[in-house]
Structure 1
Amino acid sequence: MSDRPIIFSAPMVRALLAGRKTQTRRLVRFPGWAAGIFTDPLKIVVETDERGRDPEVICESTGCLAALPLPYTVGDRLYVREAWAPLDALTHGDPGAQALAERGFYRADEGTVEGEIARWRPSIHMPRWASRLTLVVTDVRVERLQDISEADSKAEGVEPICDHGVGNEHLHRIAFEQLWERLHGKGSWLANPWIAAISFSVHRANIDALLREVAA
């Protein structure tokens, strides 16, 4: 169990705040010999238990075997990093009670006036104290990207695409496919990589405030 940061885009932050997002998918990192460092082609197999847990990566060409490291584990607390600005970035006007309480502004918030903020800071530079969302990991499993179901696609927080009344049953899954391609580039969905499917509970609180509340 550890405390770690995790980055989300503005649409995904809004999905977290709205209670629509309880899952995220992240690429898994293979050991060097399995990632294609060597020139000889390797036939790589990933094996898990029936629930997609305890993953191992096996090279059928050499017999090499290793546990597949996962980005997060059950019980981890993740503080969300998002684009933000400190109070002194306000060029004019009243910051408002909420911004004063949170000590800053969040770009994902609806109604934020771009012209009032001198400069937004990228999510990767958000300090721990400025995070307003904490995720507690409840499940991690390994699977192929395209194994995602319609229900899991909905839990990713995407808005369903419009099918113009034709009755498509996979509107969230198609929307997730499009999101993945935007994030990872053309052809990334068809590549069907191994990913870690991470489920979590969402807490609208700074991680340190949450820890103090739990300890009280």
Structure 2
Amino acid sequence: MVRALLAGTKTQTRRALRQPAGIERNRFGQPGDLLWVRETFFAYGRWTTRYNPTKQRDEWVFVDMTQACGHTWRYAADEGPGADPQARREADAAPCWHKRSALFMPRAASRILLRIVDVRIERLQAIGAADALAEGLVPGTVADPVLAYRGIWEGINGAGSWDDDPLVWVVTFVQIPLALLPDRNI
């Protein structure tokens, strides 16, 4: 979906409510809020171990040296070089490019910023063709956008999750060009 965000075709996302409507607080934000997008990326650095006193053992820690070495982060959604073939989690290894989960992306590495324009709750199956396309499907590439979105939903949430017809948060957004921001540390 990162490619769809970059192309401007994804302007909406759906997330299942974890609790009944009215009980769960919207954790995705309100209109006007900014969201930075995390994605799978490549960072230049090395692995080391550090003692964790809480767990009373050594843990592996990635030391991101990308900016300190004059590099810029690379992104899995782009064409181009990825992780180095010799990238390993081993002590005293030379720094190189490592693939990193979106979970570990630092704010400074994010290249996509979204402004929420609308938030609502609805049943999953209430999605129409226009909203399915707003989820990032490319017009003209699928005969039935809702059916195609069903496949995406079940790929993320598991077989049969569509048939459950859960309540979902529907978050609509616009992308904000980073060049327009005076301070990227939002």
TM score, norm. by length of structure 1: 0.62
- Secondary structure in 2 matching 1:181: helix
Q: Paired residue for 1:83?
A: 40
Q: Unaligned stretches of 5+ in structure 2? A: 47-68, 88-97
2:39·2:101 contact (CA, 8 Å) conserved in 1? yes
Matched, 1:25 2:14: yes
2:12·2:134 contact (CA, 8 Å) conserved in 1? yes
Q: Please point out which of 110, 128, 137 is paired with 1:131.
A: 110
Matched, 1:69 2:25: yes
Asked which structure has the greater RCO (Cα within 8 Å, sep 6+), the reply is 2
Q: Give the drift of 1:28.
A: 1.5
- Structural RMSD (CA): 2.6
Q: Give the drift of 1:150.
A: 0.3
CA distance in 1, matches of 2:170, 2:82: 34
Name the aligned partner's letter for residue 155 of structure 2. Answer: R
Q: Paired residue for 2:60?
A: none
Matched, 1:122 2:101: yes
Matched, 1:147 2:140: no
2:115·2:174 contact (CA, 8 Å) conserved in 1? yes
Matched, 1:188 2:161: yes
- Secondary structure in 1 matching 2:178: coil
- Secondary structure in 1 matching 2:10: coil
Q: Paired residue for 1:176?
A: 149
- Secondary structure in 2 matching 1:81: coil
CA distance in 1, matches of 2:168, 2:177: 26
CA distance in 2, matches of 1:14, 1:181: 20
Q: Please point out which of 73, 76, 80 is paired with 1:112.
A: 80
- Secondary structure in 2 matching 1:180: helix
Q: Give the drift of 1:180.
A: 0.4
What is the identity percentage for the equivalent residue pairs of Structure 1 and Structure 2? 38
Question: Which structure features the higher share of helix residues?
Answer: 1
Q: Give the drift of 1:22.
A: 0.4
Matched, 1:158 2:134: no
Question: Which structure features the higher share of strand residues?
Answer: 2
TM score, norm. by length of structure 2: 0.71
Q: Give the drift of 1:112.
A: 2.3
